[in-house]
Chain A
Amino acid sequence: MSAQMLRVTEIEALSPLVKRFRFEHPRGEKLPLFSGGAHVVVEMSDGDALRRNAYSLISDPQDGSGYEIAVRREDGGRGGSRFMHACVRQGDMLRISTPLNLFSLDMRARKHVLIAGGIGITPIIAQMQQLLRMQGRFEIHYAARSRREAAGLRLLPSLPHIHAHISDEGKRMDLGAILDRQPIGTHVYTCGPEGLITAVAQCAERLGWPCGSLHSEVFLAPPPGRAFEVTLAKTGQRVSVSPHQSLLEALEEAQVDMDWSCRGGACGRCETEVVSCHGRIEHNDHWLSEDERSSQTKIMPCVSRFRGKELILNR
């Protein structure tokens, strides 16, 4: 995947847990434009570990002067967001991939309803910029527990079609009320916790929405788990995956040439064929079909793990 070294030019705390980072080209060159919903992968050299996390772009897609992301510190995570919060300083150079969009607007929609929970607001901010520019019809519904946690509010303009639903203030988001009154031809985009995405899907189904009008994105951080070992069929090499490492990271460390782009179980690029499996693959991805999962013939190394006696990969 192609990437370039960019300079960190601004860091701003948006809330106690969320920081905004701005990256610019060191010689002031224009960066490639992108479409609302796109993400970049940020590489972090954290001691011996090379971490790569995907973050949605929150800056204006039409503005090539810099890229901005918002990072929520996950204290229980594997360390990428903690590294961004604790170690990255203004002036640092980081390797940033070219933007890639797995969550683009459906331009056929007559109206766009954008629903975000928590840090899920990030891709929706750039989608909003695109819709404002194109004079598209839209509503944003942003749910957070408290105003203090609603870091995205600082990034949203004050417009009548932007609605904050703060549960501490007794204003929980009522999905039924939001979805029930939309005109035919509306598309809905959800980004946030798995539970929110499921709730939107169920509510839309109950109201008879066509499934082609529903869009969602969730990037999974590779979940930690037990250590396991895999065997590579082509070389016979055995690779150990430690509890806080993903299989993809372990394969990269073992110099296996891997293709990837989102590193969050969504894009399908790292799909790997399983030659033999004695045990159970813990499929954590959003890419493989139910049939593919149960057949245990494929694995997405960026987020999925293994428990059992032997797993042989076609690598």
Chain B
Amino acid sequence: MTIQFNDETFRDDYSYHNSAEAIRRFPFPFDKDDYMYAVNMEPHAGGREGSPFENRFDVDEHYVAEMRDREITLNEDPLRCQSLPHMELAGWDLLELIMVSKSEDYPELFSLHRDGDRWHWINRPLGIDHKFTFLDPTTLPYGPMEYITRQAQGDFAVLDQREGNLWMEAGMVTSQADWSLDFDIGMNFFEWHAPVPKAHEMGIFQRALKFLLAIQQDSPSRRLNWTMTVNPRLDTSPENYHKWGPEKRTLTPENVGEKQYLRVELQTFFRLPRSNGLAFPIRCYLISLQDLVTVPKWGRRLHRVIRDLPDELADYKGFAVNRQLIIDYLAQFDDGKPTSPGIFPDE
């Protein structure tokens, strides 16, 4: 497999774009015509060939540009990456998981040679060729978690497990849907989910926590989550709300197809062997509405989902202000025909 990496930006001139192939493989999150919270977990054990579910960590045409964007964000605000002292071992666990997975799944892009604790890592797309000693942080330019997550798409929360709960105590978070690691660090599962409406009453979090606590080493899990973002911006953090918040007001009936993006998170969960921590990678995928409706099933379905969504959810997901514009735009692509089950395009 060869991947042609896009030269693109996620800020300023927003030159981000999806190739025809990237559109077809987009992880569309709705398997039916309506949406409500669900624990919706499934084993992360491969998936349709070419889809983002196929490998443990998906690498796609946005890889190099996303890593460049992460670097800009970190330069502006180093607190986007934090690790409490007791999470160092979990950081090494994560480094090993990502290096092993990527070198096995994309051997033409990444290589890992291990001779005991002496490791040699090659990342060809980013031009990195590095020898270091596993578990010796002085042999890396950053801590282990920061080192590897500067080379991996998506955000990473690293959770400690104790007292029957999960605690967010390390992470690399630069492409988030309006939440902040600096605010959440040290919180437990219920504390960091406190702002989510409705789900508490539904008992969703109790069930989800119980599921996550029981995740075993060789059985990672995954789920999809979604929201909406105006412009293809990865860093929609509360810290930078003043930059992206006002952009919500720039939508018009003429530009909504081009500027409104569906933002999908592929969330995965891996038990870490040495630390017994839980890695929670959150990979963000963006697609403009005008690209999305090129798949007729998705255009029809997204229209119905957004139209029928409870108000609290549109509010929470931050697009209530543009909801009608979005519905009116999508309505053109909904001919009322039935849609097939599942998330993939009809062939």
Q: Which residues of A contact B (CB under 8 A)?
A: 1-2, 32-35, 37-38, 61-62, 98-101, 104, 106-108, 130, 134, 212, 261, 267-269
- A35/B273 in contact, CB under 8 A: yes
Q: Which residues of B contact A (CB under 8 A)?
A: 84, 86-87, 89, 160-163, 210, 214, 216-219, 273-276
A269: nearest chain-B partner, CB-CB: B214
Contact of A32 among B87, B162, B217 (CB under 8 A): B217
Q: Which residues of B contact A261 (CB under 8 A)?
A: 214, 216
Q: How far is the CA of A108 from the CA of B88 in the complex (A)?
A: 11
Q: Which residues of A contact B214 (CB under 8 A)?
A: 261, 267-269
- A99/B160 in contact, CB under 8 A: no
Known contacts: A108-B86, A134-B89, A268-B210. The answer to whether A2 contacts B276 by CB under 8 A is no
Known contacts: A107-B87, A108-B86. The answer to whether A2 contacts B218 by CB under 8 A is yes
User: Taking the nearest CB of chain B, how far is it from the CB of A184, in angstroms?
Assistant: 16
- A104/B218 in contact, CB under 8 A: no
- B163/A35 in contact, CB under 8 A: no
- B216/A35 in contact, CB under 8 A: no
- A104/B161 in contact, CB under 8 A: yes
Q: How far is the CA of A104 from the CA of B278 in the complex (A)?
A: 13
Known contacts: A99-B217, A107-B87, A261-B214. The answer to whether A32 contacts B273 by CB under 8 A is yes
A187: nearest chain-B partner, CB-CB: B162
- Chain B contact surface mostly: loop
- A34/B219 in contact, CB under 8 A: no
Q: How far is the CA of A130 from the CA of B216 in the complex (A)?
A: 20
- B216/A100 in contact, CB under 8 A: yes
A1: nearest chain-B partner, CB-CB: B216
Q: How far is the CA of A77 from the CA of B261 in the complex (A)?
A: 62
- A33/B274 in contact, CB under 8 A: yes
Known contacts: A33-B273, A34-B273, A35-B276. The answer to whether A2 contacts B87 by CB under 8 A is no
Q: How far is the CA of A261 from the CA of B84 in the complex (A)?
A: 30
Known contacts: A32-B218, A261-B214, A268-B210. The answer to whether A104 contacts B162 by CB under 8 A is yes
Contact of A2 among B89, B160, B216 (CB under 8 A): B216
User: Taking the nearest CB of chain B, how far is it from the CB of A300, in angstroms?
Assistant: 14
Q: A2-B216, A35-B276, A107-B87 are in contact. List 16 more A-B contacts (CB 8 A).
A: A1-B216, A32-B217, A32-B218, A33-B273, A33-B274, A34-B217, A34-B273, A35-B273, A35-B274, A98-B217, A100-B216, A101-B276, A108-B84, A261-B214, A267-B214, A268-B214
Q: How far is the CA of A261 from the CA of B217 in the complex (A)?
A: 13
Q: How far is the CA of A11 from the CA of B111 in the complex (A)?
A: 39
